Amino acid sequence: MDLQESLSLALTNLTSPPVLAFVLGLVAVAVKTDLRLPDAVYQATSIYLLLAIGIKGGVALRESSASDVAWPILAAIVLGIAIPVAAFFLLRVMTPLGRIDRGALAAHYGSTSLVTFTAALVFLQASLISYEGYVVTLLTILEIPGIIVGLLLAQGVRGDRFGETLREVVLGRSVLLLVGGLVIGFLTGPVGYARVEPFFGGLFIGVLTLFLLELGMLTGRQLSAVRQAGPGLIAFAILFPLLAGTAGVVGGTLAGMSIGGAMVLGVLCASASYIAAPAAVRLALPEAKPSITLVSSLGITFPFNLVIGIPVYLLLAEAIGGWLG
């Protein structure tokens, strides 16, 4: 891919409605409007996105063979454990943060961002680049281990409370909706899906755009705290996604995935959670400072991945695919 094509891809990403809505959310906070998505709408759109992605992934999974999926799943499990461990130890080198906050951040970076993942899929579709439909399975697999590893690194297993949190994470709405959606999609197949496609497919990018408007506002409210985060954490929030994203692209390529698929695994590894992980960390590590984890994952890494990271991971997938493929 030459420079002109790369710039064109970056422009495609930057001018997509969801990314522009995210920027509008940032502007709304900067000019101090009273715009706010009602809580119920925010909750409903996140449920819609999780279920829609799950169902579409389930339909695609049905059309994949076990041998196609086995190596990518193994790669996702290994990465899901390795990434939070790497984050935990890199944070010790780069920041003065204590063990609890480093574990909380490791849980966020070990888990994944549904919206970054979805934006990556929208970007690939707009760029006419194919990817494996079972990537949603990888999203689901990567959602949980990182959180558990991060919590363990922070505090070890602390009796009943850890078990209670684990149950709440595993049975939380993100996993329930993703796994439930996968099962629905798998069972209903393309024929059943065709009946709900106008709602779960046709409206998808519109709902994502609305969701990103709210995330833009949430991010905008974190930006004032970025300056207080310290240079080490800011550097981590930008460098670590690039490192983890590269690891994901290499893992995907070695597991036999296409360029688009390896790029998506890279995005999954590079992204940091701000739905499942904040809830789990708040419950299990109430002494961790949410302002640190949110500034890093939502204030820096999320916009970085959304605007710059997504096209970069595609370029990486093409380059690494050329060397290893």
Partner 1 sequence: MTDFSSVTCLTIVAESIVQERLVRALAASGAHGWTLSMAQGQGPSAHGDVSDIEGGNVRIETLVSPEVAVRIWAALERDFFPHYAVSAWQYDVKVARLARYSDEG
User: Residue numbers of the site for partner 1 (CB under 8 A)?
Assistant: 39, 43, 164, 168, 218, 221-222, 225, 274-275, 278-279, 282-283, 286-287, 289-291, 294, 298
Please identify, using beta-carbon distances, which residue of 106 and 288 lies nearer to partner 1: 288
Q: How far apart are CA 19 and CA 10, in angstroms?
A: 11
Least spacing, CB of residue 258 vs partner 1, in Å: 33
Please identify, using beta-carbon distances, which residue of 208 and 264 lies nearer to partner 1: 208
Please identify, using beta-carbon distances, which residue of 47 and 74 lies nearer to partner 1: 47
Close Cβ partners of 290 (under 8 Å, ≥ 6 residues apart): 278, 281, 282
Please identify, using beta-carbon distances, which residue of 245 and 303 lies nearer to partner 1: 303
Least spacing, CB of residue 122 vs partner 1, in Å: 22
Least spacing, CB of residue 231 vs partner 1, in Å: 20
Q: How far apart are CA 208 and CA 19, in angstroms?
A: 10
Q: Kindly list the distances between the CA atom of residue 246 and the CA atoms of 8, 11, 312, in Å, as whole numbers in the listed order.
A: 22, 22, 10
Please identify, using beta-carbon distances, which residue of 233 and 298 lies nearer to partner 1: 298
Backbone φ, ψ for residue 292 (5° rounding): -70, -50
Please identify, using beta-carbon distances, which residue of 189 and 286 lies nearer to partner 1: 286
Least spacing, CB of residue 255 vs partner 1, in Å: 32
Least spacing, CB of residue 245 vs partner 1, in Å: 23
CA angle (115 as vertex; 70, 104 as ends), nearest 5: 80
Please identify, using beta-carbon distances, which residue of 167 and 195 lies nearer to partner 1: 167
Least spacing, CB of residue 279 vs partner 1, in Å: 5
* Residue 104 burial (10 A CB sphere; 0-12, 13-18, 19+): buried
Q: How far apart are CA 267 and CA 247, in angstroms?
A: 10
Which helix (DSSP H) or strand (DSSP E) does residue 207 occupy? helix 204-226
Which residue is it, tokens 């209903």?
188
Least spacing, CB of residue 286 vs partner 1, in Å: 3
Q: Kindly list the distances between the CA atom of residue 25 and the CA atoms of 32, 170, 209, in Å, as whole numbers in the listed order.
A: 11, 31, 11
Q: Pick the closest to residue 93 from 242, 240, 226 (CA basis).
A: 240
Other beta carbons within 10 Å of 77: 14
Please identify, using beta-carbon distances, which residue of 172 and 311 lies nearer to partner 1: 172
- Which DSSP state fits 229? G
Q: How far apart are CA 61 and CA 84, in angstroms?
A: 27
Least spacing, CB of residue 217 vs partner 1, in Å: 9
Q: How far apart are CA 255 and CA 233, in angstroms?
A: 32
Least spacing, CB of residue 274 vs partner 1, in Å: 6
Please identify, using beta-carbon distances, which residue of 10 and 298 lies nearer to partner 1: 298
Q: How far apart are CA 111 and CA 271, in angstroms?
A: 8
